[in-house]
Amino acid sequence: MRVSIVDYGAGNLDSVSKAFSFLGAEPVVVRTPEAIAVSDRLILPGVGAAGAAMKRLREGGLDEALTAAVRHRGVPMLGICLGMQLLAERLHEHETVSGLGWLPGDVNRIDGGSKHLRVPHMGWSGVRSTPAADRFFAETRGKREFYFAHSYTLATDAAAVAATVDYGANLTAAVLSGNVFAVQFHPEKSQKNGQALLQAFMDWNP
């Protein structure tokens, strides 16, 4: 299966590409609206600052191309880390910027809470999935642990939340909305459980 990984200057493309190659997929990096328009399955990875990421998406017309492909044409898409946060209406980092707006809600800095937990949330944590998202987590093992590395968290409608992680509060670990599945953690760094989740995404036909 061919999967298109969107390059907008904010993703660890090599790790994501290798993870899909390991599963027998054919990853291809796409950088233009034209390439996105002919993609059959999209990956939106991302690390770094939200404002700069959205600026690059908009400058290249990639935001409109993604909306056309995913929201209008129904292409399945997986968002990873920052790629999940960009789905929100508003992202509050160094400044407030508009996201893609596919999901209602905001992205705010993690509050360590009364336990004064370290921010960023970095390392292995177990997640709890909802019944609607069980297909993506069914083959994961043990405590369903995945590798996280983030300082900001998405708050959105409960109906879209596919999994949560306990880090001072129940933070959104994954979302599912129509043909869009996105995760806050890094499946490409999450060994067997990450491989199982990526395989489930490739097998998914929303």
Question: Distance (Å, rounded) from C-alpha 2 to C-alpha 94?
Answer: 36
Which CATH number belongs to the domain containing residue 23 in this structure?
A: 3.40.50.880
Counted domains in the chain: 1
Catalytic residue among 121, 145, 150, 188: 188
Residue 72 annotated among the catalytic residues of the structure: no
Selection from 178, 161, 169 nearest residue 125 by Cα: 169
Catalytic residue, candidates 81, 121, 145, 150 = 81
Question: How is residue 124 written in tokens?
Answer: 């292995």
Q: Span 32-58, mean pLDDT?
A: 94
pLDDT value at position 91?
96
Is 92 a residue of the active site? no
Distance (Å, rounded) from C-alpha 150 to C-alpha 75?
Answer: 27
Q: Which of 59, 184, 64, 63 is nearest to 121 (CA)?
A: 184
59 given a catalytic annotation: no
* Active-site residue (options: 121, 145, 150, 186): 186
How is residue 71 annotated by DSSP?
I
Give mean pLDDT, residues 20-25: 96
pTM: 0.95
Provide mean pLDDT across the span 175-201.
Answer: 97
Question: What domain range includes position 141?
Answer: 2-203
